Every structure is written in C-alpha cells, then in structure tokens.
Amino acid sequence: MPKKTNLLGNLVLPTCQILILLILFFTQDTFRTQPIPSSSYVTLTPESKILFGLSQTGSSALLEGWSSIEEWGVWSEKAIASMAFQVQARDLKMYTIRMSVNYLYVGYSDGFKYSIFINDKKYSDEIVTTMSTENFIQINLSSIATSDNFSTLIRFEFKTLSSPKSLGVSGDMRLLGIGIKSVELVSSPKM
C-alpha cells in the first residue's frame, strides 16, 4: 500500500514558522518608530536626582532592556536598553544629563563598547577601557535640546554583553551592559 502524505500538513508548519519570523522581524523595530506615551516620561529638573534602587522612583523611566531593580540600581541586560525623561529647565542648553553608572568591565581586550542615541539620533560611541569607583555618562544638551521642556528618549546599544559568570566574577548568568544608579541634570562646565 503506498504511503499517504499529508501535503497540507507539510505546508502548514513551514508557513507558520515563516509567519512567526516575519512578525518577530517587523515588531523588533516597532519600539523605535512609535511615539512613547507621555506617562512614560519621568521629569528631570536641576533640583532633582532620580535614583534607580529599590523603593526609588527611577524605575518608571525604564522602557526596555533592563533587569530587575536591585538595592543600588539596575543593570541593562539586553543588546538595547532605553529610558525616557521630560527634561525641564530655563536655558536647558546650558545643562548636561549626568548618569552615575556601573560597568561590568573585566577582560575586554579592546574595551567595553556601546553607543548612545538621543531621540533616535546617534549621540556618541563610547569605549570604556578603565574603571573607577565613580563612573559617569554625560550627555551635553547644548546641541540637542530643542526647548526648555524637552522630551528625551535615551537608548543604549551594546556591542558586546557578558555575564558575571563568564567573566569569573560571580555565578550570575545574566548578560549585562551598564548599571544605572542615578540620573541628574547639572550645569554644563564653562568652556
């Protein structure tokens, strides 16, 4: 007796797999093109310092790519991590957004590399080659602020991520980029 083949069944599974891949492909960048609800923005003013540890308000600024909040702050754990702020100050172009951060930097021969985007425009490419007890990311608003009330989407794109376990630091298997402790708006240094 000849073997029966289920032609329909043979077509349905690959078709479903292709549809799933297409959906994943087209929704991957949806985040970047859709407007962010204003409720996602945390207000950042010269009088404020936003903390990201447990029981702090900073977590409401985190959009995608972040791990669970820890006592000290929060680690990024995806290739892309983003946050949103409503930055407000008189003469906003005279200010800098300063982030106090941790780096998981152990054993990168050519440095820990990442890029910063502000409102979907590349702001800078960064390479961390040394660490100190106090690490800062500074975003000068002089060339990017459009008014004294500026909606800011900050996106980090990491070139390489490592787990503390793979680096021999601890048993933590998460793939980590940077750890954010706090964000504040400070006067830009006078040139």
Summarize pLDDT for 73-102 with one digit per residue, the tens.
999 999 999 999 999 998 888 999 999 999
Residue 174 burial by Cβ neighbours in a 10 Å radius (0-12, 13-18, 19+): middle
Q: According to CATH, what is the number of the domain 41-187?
A: 2.60.120.260
Residues 159 and 175: their CA atoms lie apart, in Å, by: 12
For the stretch 124-155, pLDDT in tens is 999 887 777 788 999 999 888 888 888 899 99
Please state, for a pLDDT cut of 90, what percent of the chain lies above it.
47
Q: Which residue has the tokens 């790519």?
A: 65
Give this prediction's pTM.
0.76
170: Cβ contacts below 8 Å, ≥ 6 apart: 164
Domain ranges of the chain: 41-187
**Quick one: pLDDT band at residue 105, thresholds 50, 70, 90?**
low
C-alpha–C-alpha distance, residues 186 and 138, integer Å: 10
pLDDT band for 189, please (50, 70, 90 cuts).
confident
Mean pLDDT, the chain, as a whole number? 80
Confidence of residue 6 (pLDDT cuts 50, 70, 90): low
Whether 78 contacts 67, CB under 8 Å: no
How does pLDDT run across 36-67, given as a tens digit for each residue?
Answer: 444 567 899 998 899 999 988 899 999 999 99
